[in-house]
Amino acid sequence: MRLIVAQDYNAMSRRAAQMVAKLVRAKPEAAIMVPTGDTPRGFYAELAAIHRRDEFDVSRLRVFQLDEYLGVGARDPNSFQTWITRAFLDPLGIAASRLVRLPGDADDAAAACRAYDERMRSAGGCDIAVLGLGWNGHLGFNEPPADPASPTRVVALSAETVASNGRYWGAGARVPNQALTCGMANILAARHKLVLVSGERKREILRRVVTGPVSPETPATYLKASDQVTVLADAAAWPWPVPEQDKVAADRV
């Protein structure tokens, strides 16, 4: 695992966008897994800015949705698909057909999850999984305790995750307590994993991931046993010196 600490949120976002733009330029047909949430907003904005300045081909990208609420349809303004379309697909001009959805409104969600894993298999796996770090170390919606071999599936969300997501839904809204998530197996199998971590509120969980033992209780710690992982944090999330074993050449991805 390589830890890169950027001086602030904007620098972290810029760096992440440069890494992904570089990868897509080198492999325009790349399969990329993308998160929602607060942390990646700046990354998507920077990626769109790079694309506006110096266009790169996104017509062949394959975009895999990382997770979705169960029972929430694509047109729902609170769906992750709506979020990804607004933050990523539309600003870069990526056709909706390039998105491999996790359909929250599928009649048979378990079958939809199996179909998603099949699409991942036929894409030859994922070139880069861009990830946020959950308050409890979750990746996607793989809540603790997590099985590193878990497939894409329907999961129950912890009460704390539901409460934390409530900020997006507005007062009085019923936040779904189940979701579809790309499983740990496909996340860990991605050829690059780029984890974005920002802010003081992530400090303790990031410290646990970087310095603690690999444990199902902190799903992100499985990244330590996996190849090609870059944790890109801002100084608010990692105010300490970078541990010697995690120091990296900055431009590896």
By CB under 6 A, what part of segment 49-68 binds ligand F6R?
66-67
- Given the complex with ligand F6R, which of 164 and 215 has the nearer CB atom? 164
| Euclidean distance between CA atoms 130 and 134, whole angstroms | 13
User: What is the DSSP secondary-structure string of 93-115?
Assistant: T--GGGEE---TT-SSHHHHHHH
Rounded least distance, CB 193 to ligand F6R, Å:
13
How does DSSP classify residue 224?
G
Say whether residue 103 binds ligand F6R (CB under 6 A): no
Say whether residue 39 binds ligand F6R (CB under 6 A): yes
Which candidate in 46, 67, 68, 105 is catalytic?
67
Distances (CA, A) of 2 to 122, 219, 249, 252: 29, 17, 9, 9
| Selected binder of ligand F6R within 8, 29, 38, 108 (CB under 6 A) | 38
Rounded least distance, CB 198 to ligand F6R, Å:
7
- Among 87, 96, 15, 86, residue whose Cα is nearest residue 58: 96
Say whether residue 101 binds ligand F6R (CB under 6 A): no
**CB atoms near residue 244 (< 10 Å):** 6
By CB under 6 A, what part of segment 131-150 binds ligand F6R?
132-134, 138-141
**Known catalytic residue: 67?**
yes
Span near ligand F6R by CB under 6 A; candidates 25-33, 105-113, 130-138, 217-225: 130-138
Contact 21, 50 (CB under 8 A): yes
- Given the complex with ligand F6R, which of 141 and 222 has the nearer CB atom? 141
Residue 24 burial by Cβ neighbours in a 10 Å radius (0-12, 13-18, 19+)? buried
**Known catalytic residue: 136?**
yes
- The amino acid occupying position 160 is E
Residues that bind ligand F6R (CB under 6 A): 35-39, 66-67, 80, 132-134, 138-141
Q: Hey, which residues are catalytic here?
A: 67, 136, 138, 143
